Chains A and B, each alone.
Chain A
Amino acid sequence: MKSSRKIFVQFVICMIFFSVIGILVNNLTVNLIRTGLGFNFNWLIKPASFALAEYPLPYSPSDSYAWALFIGWLNSLKVIISSLLVSTLLGTIIGFARTGKNSLLSFLSAGYITIIRQTPLLLQLMFWYFVGFLGLKDDMSIHIKDIFKISNQGIELSVFTLTSEFSALLLGLSIFTSAYIAEVIRGGILSVPRGQWEAFRSLGVSERKGLISIIIPQALPAIIPGLTSQYLNLAKNSTLAIAVGYSDIYAINDTIINQTGRAIECFMILLTSFLVLNLLISNSMEIINRIIINARKYN
Chain B
Amino acid sequence: MFNITLIILFFQNTRKTLFSNFLNTIISLIFIIVINLICFKAFGWLIHNANWKVITSNLPLYAFGSFPPAEQWRPATWIFSLLSLSIITLFGPEWKWLRKNLLIAWAGTIPLGLYLLYGGIGISPIMSRHFGGLTLSILLTTCSSLFSLPLGIILALCRQSSLPLIRKLSSIYIDVMRAVPLISVLFFGQLLIPLFMPVGIEIDRVWRAIFAFTLFVSAYIAEDIRGGLQSIPSTQIEAASSLGLNKYQIIQFILIPQALRIALPALTNQSIGLFQNTSLMAILGLVELLGVGRSILANPEFIGQYIEVYIWLACVYWFVCTIMAVLARHLEQRMKINQANF
Q: Which residues in A have some Cβ–Cβ distance to B below 8 Å?
A: 1, 6, 9-10, 13-14, 17, 24, 27-28, 30-32, 34, 101-105, 108, 115, 118-123, 126-127, 130-131, 135, 232, 235-237, 239-240, 242-243, 250, 254, 257, 263-264, 267, 270-271, 274-275, 278
Contacts and interface: CB of A to CB of B under 8 A. Distances in A.
Contacts of A32: 195
B241 interface: no
Interface stretch (B75-83, B184-192, B255-263): B184-192
Given A104-B18, A263-B191, A267-B184, A118 B306 contact: no
B322 interface: yes
Contacts of B277: 120
Nearest to A240: B183
Contacts of A10: 163-166
B179 A122 contact: no
A279 B80 CA distance: 46
Given A13-B166, A118-B322, A120-B279, 7 more contacts: A6-B162, A13-B163, A31-B195, A104-B28, A242-B183, A243-B283, A254-B187
A123 to B, nearest CB: 6
Given A31-B195, A130-B306, A123 B165 contact: no
Contacts of A127: 306, 310, 314
Nearest to A237: B181
B20 A101 contact: yes
A121 B182 CA distance: 13
A126 B164 CA distance: 46
Contacts of A239: 181, 183-184
A267 B283 contact: no
30 contacts: A10-B163, A10-B165, A13-B165, A17-B169, A27-B196, A27-B197, A28-B195, A31-B194, A102-B28, A118-B272, A118-B317, A118-B318, A118-B322, A119-B317, A122-B279, A123-B290, A126-B290, A126-B294, A126-B306, A130-B310, A131-B307, A235-B181, A250-B181, A250-B183, A250-B184, A254-B187, A257-B191, A267-B184, A271-B180, A278-B179
Contacts of B276: 119-121
A34 B199 contact: yes
Contacts of A13: 163, 165-166, 169
A196 to B, nearest CB: 21
A103 B12 CA distance: 13
B313 interface: yes
Nearest to A115: B318
A210 B179 CA distance: 38
Contacts of A122: 279-280, 282-283, 290
B184 A271 contact: yes
Interface in B314-336: 314, 317-318, 321-322
A131 B306 contact: yes
Contacts of A121: 276
Contact of A263 (B20, B31, B195, B279): B195
Contacts of B280: 122, 240
B50 interface: no
Nearest to B294: A126
B198 interface: yes
Contacts of B198: 27, 30
B290 A120 contact: yes
A275 B195 contact: no
Interface in B281-305: 282-283, 290, 294, 297
Nearest to B279: A120
Interface string B17-29: 1101000100110
Contacts of B272: 118
Contacts of A131: 306-307, 310
B32 interface: yes
A237 B184 CA distance: 11
A131 B272 CA distance: 26
A274 B27 contact: no
Contact of B163 (A9, A17, A34, A254): A9
Contacts of B188: 267
A108 to B, nearest CB: 7
A105 B31 CA distance: 8
A28 B192 CA distance: 9
A120 B294 CA distance: 14
A278 B28 CA distance: 41
Contacts of A30: 198-199
Contact of B196 (A14, A28, A240, A274): A28
